[in-house]
Structure 1
Amino acid sequence: MLKIQEIREIIKLIDQSDIEEFKYEHEGAKIVLKKNVHAPVQQVTSAPIAAQPTFVQQAPVQPVSAPEVAAPAAQPAAAEQSGVDNANLHTITSPMVGTFYQSSSPDSPPYVSSGSEVKADTVVCIVEAMKLFNEIEAEVEGEIVEVLAKDGQLVEYGQPLFLVKPR
């Protein structure tokens, strides 16, 4: 039987992934996890629609136009910042949800650190998912500029782990 902590970890992994349904059976115990991704989106969409007539009646233009103007202005600024930061650097991202480890064991030195030279097939870290340890390779030749994740940290799919200055 699964322990409570293992069930919680499964729930987190399912919640952060695209999986909509998960079933597990073992020795008569059964766990079924389902998530409905579309329902919350519809509820969020319907809330502003219901609220808009109230705002329009109280103040016809100001409350409705202020959020619309502020949101688009913030998005290009964020896009510009990320474009400048990553222009000359390659980002190594997590291919899965799991726990980030810089070394193969707590007593071992980290695979890489800032200033380390890497080749495309150099192992830079391990991401543990569901008790499976997955070695992550650099996929580019260059120098590690920055380690973005901390040892033992839970990482998400696509989360940046390292910045590499390519050769």
Structure 2
Amino acid sequence: MLKIQEIREIIKLIDQSDIEEFSFEHEGSKINLKKRTGFVPVAQQQPIVQQPVTVQPPVQAVVETPAAAPEKVEAKIEGTTNNENYLQVVSPMVGTFYQSPTPDSPAYVQIGSQVKADTVVCIVEAMKLFNEIEAEVDGEIVEVLVKNGELVEYGQPLYLVKPR
């Protein structure tokens, strides 16, 4: 039977790859992963200047074991209401958020920074590995939602981005 940490690692690896669908079966346990593509627009709640955030496509996982019914795990992005639509950059994993590559370096991005889909916006450290997180959308950072050194969860919004 797969441990929850092993399942999380598989989800993280699939999320960071170009693979859209993945199935694995071992000793009576079966896991199916399907990645949704595209960005989910999020409207701003208040007419206040926001800080950066981008959206990663959510991953859906179905875990089946012989003794239990299938479970579904899915990351969802909450919408807000206003005329302006923003996209979120979300954490693809649980870890520690860092705005710069080293403590003495400037932040990768800040409010007002123009980003492209492949622009590195931060690092999330997980299990002693430093994972560069890309914006995955072209636009302008309007809000930073996480403080440097703060623990982040899988799917947690990190930045708001005003798309071009």
Report the TM-score, using the length of structure 1 for normalisation.
Answer: 0.51
Greater C-alpha radius of gyration:
1
Is 1:19 aligned to 2:5, yes or no? yes
Query: How far apart, in 2, do the equivalents of 1:114 and 1:20 lie?
Result: 36
Quote the offset at 1:83 in angstroms. 3.1
Quote the offset at 1:82 in angstroms. 3.1
Query: How far apart, in 1, do the equivalents of 2:129 and 2:158 lie?
Result: 19
Counting aligned pairs with the same residue, the percent is 72
Quote the offset at 1:145 in angstroms. 0.3
Q: Which has the higher contact order (CA 8 A, sep 6+)?
A: 2
Deviating beyond 3 angstroms after TM superposition, the runs of 4 or more aligned structure 1 residues are 17-21
Q: Secondary structure at the match of 1:109?
A: coil
Q: Once superposed, what is the RMSD of the aligned Cα atoms?
A: 2.3
Instruction: Kindly report which structure 2 residues correspond to 1:68-147, keeping only aligned pairs within 5 A, or say none.
Output: 82-84=79-81, 88-147=85-144
- Count of aligned pairs between the two proteins: 92
Query: How far apart, in 2, do the equivalents of 1:86 and 1:95 lie?
Result: 28
Q: Which amino acid aligns with 1:102?
A: Q
Instruction: Kindly report which structure 2 residues correspond to 1:50-61, keeping only aligned pairs within 5 A, or say none.
Output: none
Query: How far apart, in 2, do the equivalents of 1:18 and 1:132 lie?
Result: 19
Q: Secondary structure at the match of 2:79?
A: helix
Q: Specify which structure has the higher proportion of helix.
A: 1
Change over 3 Å in CA distance of 1:127–1:140 after alignment to 2: same
